[in-house]
Amino acid sequence: MPKIRKVTHEYAWELRQARLDEAAITKQPLVERPYWYEDTDTGKCFYDLYGGLAWPTEVTDKDDGRPGYVAIVGIVKGQRKPQDAAFHLCAEAESKDIPTLLQHMLDLRSSWGFGLTPGFLQTWFGDPERFIMTTALLNERLMQAGGDKQAILIAPPDDFYSTKAFDHYVRSMHSVVVPGKVRFGFGGNEVLKNRLREFKRDDPAVMAVGGLVHSLLSRTMWMDQSRSNCFNLQEG
């Protein structure tokens, strides 16, 4: 049973249209959605929730590798302006074992409202090119049992293919936990805190959440574009 429910404004269409109009007049590029999600346990509201994944690091003769990591981050709907909303680490899990890590991922998305809206928590940010076979086999099973929409989709975070990807991600992560500008709550989860304090290069936890935060900061994905299609033409 998911702990998340979707809340839609009573006059959702009208509200959205009004916001779009206001954005057009004020030339704002982004508008708030007329729906959001509520954590039924805590009452905390989120504009949206996103999943991040990082695979375990390589095993060598000198190092048994760091465990893979999955996490769900919510964009908190509070008193802040929507575009400056805080991030909240809702849940996290780690494992050195790929099937176990994927199972953690399935458990997390299921308890945090997977499927409440089309595509909600279906696409996770992570490296889509590792462990393809294991993921494909799992997806085959999931789709046989529940249809195409049950498949796990993994998409690369922004700048993932840059050689400086980790550098970008840690800087983005740092920018939301730096004193005076704190924008990231750990929600009582300790794994990421420990990993940040230890701070080792290419740490999966830092990579997963850092990549997610970097993408969120780059694209403000929890808000809609005020001019979202090519038919929105300039007047005059």
Q: How many residues bind another protein (CB under 8 A)?
A: 30
| Contact status: 35 vs another protein (CB under 8 A) | no
| Least Cβ distance, residue 175 to another protein (angstroms) | 10
| Contact status: 97 vs another protein (CB under 8 A) | no
Please state, in angstroms and rounded to a whole number, the distance separating the CA atoms of residues 109 and 50.
Answer: 9
Q: Report the 3 state secondary structure along 100-119.
A: HHHHHHHHHHHHCCCCCCCC
Q: Of the two residues 98 and 177, which places its CB atom closer to another protein in the complex?
A: 177
| C-alpha distances out from residue 148 to 75, 105, 119, 124, 218, Å | 27, 17, 11, 16, 29
Rounding to the nearest 10 degrees, give the CA dihedral for residues 172, 174, 176, 179.
-150
| Least Cβ distance, residue 104 to another protein (angstroms) | 16
| Least Cβ distance, residue 62 to another protein (angstroms) | 14
| Interface stretch with another protein, choices 53-61, 141-149, 157-165, 176-184 (CB under 8 A) | 176-184
Q: At what angle do helices 165-177 and 204-219 cross, to 10 degrees?
A: 80
Which residues are CB-contacts of 97 (< 8 A; sequence separation ≥ 6)?
Answer: none
| Interface stretch with another protein, choices 85-93, 105-113, 127-135, 154-162 (CB under 8 A) | 85-93
Please state, in angstroms and rounded to a whole number, the distance separating the CA atoms of residues 206 and 89.
Answer: 13
| Window 184 to 203, contacts with another protein (CB under 8 A) | 184-188, 190-191, 193-194, 196-199
Identify the DSSP state of 70. Answer: E
Please state, in angstroms and rounded to a whole number, the distance separating the CA atoms of residues 94 and 96.
Answer: 7
| Contact status: 86 vs another protein (CB under 8 A) | yes
| Contact status: 82 vs another protein (CB under 8 A) | no
Within 13 Å and on the Cβ side, how many CA atoms surround 26?
11
Q: Of the two residues 138 and 223, which places its CB atom closer to another protein in the complex?
A: 223
| Contact status: 88 vs another protein (CB under 8 A) | yes
Q: Write out the residues near another protein by the rule CB under 8 A.
A: 76, 78-81, 84, 86-88, 170, 173-174, 177-179, 182-188, 190-191, 193-194, 196-199
